[in-house]
Copies of this chain bind each other. A is one copy, B any other.
Amino acid sequence: MAMKYTIPHEVVYYECDVNGTMTLSSMVAVAIKASEEQSDSLNRGTDFVHQFGLTWIVTDYQLFIQRLPKVGEKVLVTTQAIEYNKYFCYRNFWISTEAGEELVRIETIFVLMNIDTRKMSSVPEEIIAPYESEKTKKIKRFPKIETIESGEKLPFRVRFYDIDGNQHVNNAVYFNWMLDVLGYDFLTRYAPSYLHIRFDKEVEYGNEIDSHFEIIEESGEISTHHEIKIGEEVYCEANAKWQVRN
When chains A and B are docked, how far (Å) is the Cα of A18 from the Cα of B56?
17
Give chain B residues whose Cβ lies under 8 Å from the Cβ of A32.
13-14
Give chain B residues whose Cβ lies under 8 Å from the Cβ of A205.
184
CB contact under 8 A between A33 and B18, given known A160-B183, A180-B160: no
A49 within 8 A of B: no
When chains A and B are docked, how far (Å) is the Cα of A241 from the Cα of B29?
31
When chains A and B are docked, how far (Å) is the Cα of A205 from the Cα of B33?
30
Query: What 1/0 mask marks residues of chain A from 14 to 47 whose CB sits below 8 Å from any chain B CB?
Result: 1011101001010001001100100000000000
9-residue interface stretch from A131-139, A163-171, A231-239: A163-171
The quantity of this chain's copies bound in the complex is 2
Interface size on A, residues (CB 8 A): 32
Give the distance to chain B from A153, nearest Cβ to Cβ, in Å: 14
A245 within 8 A of B: no
Tell me if B187 and A18 are in contact (CB < 8 A): no
A68 within 8 A of B: no
Question: In the complex, which of the residues B18, B71, B159 contacts A163, with contact meaning CB atoms closer than 8 Å?
Answer: B18
Tell me if A13 and B180 are in contact (CB < 8 A): no
Tell me if B12 and A33 are in contact (CB < 8 A): yes
CB contact under 8 A between A163 and B33, given known A184-B205, A205-B184: no
Tell me if A159 and B180 are in contact (CB < 8 A): yes
Tell me if A165 and B16 are in contact (CB < 8 A): yes
Show 23 A/B contacts (Cβ-Cβ < 8 Å), sorted by A: A12-B29, A12-B33, A13-B36, A14-B33, A14-B170, A14-B172, A16-B164, A17-B160, A17-B164, A18-B160, A18-B163, A18-B164, A20-B165, A23-B161, A71-B165, A160-B180, A160-B183, A160-B184, A160-B187, A161-B176, A161-B180, A184-B205, A184-B206
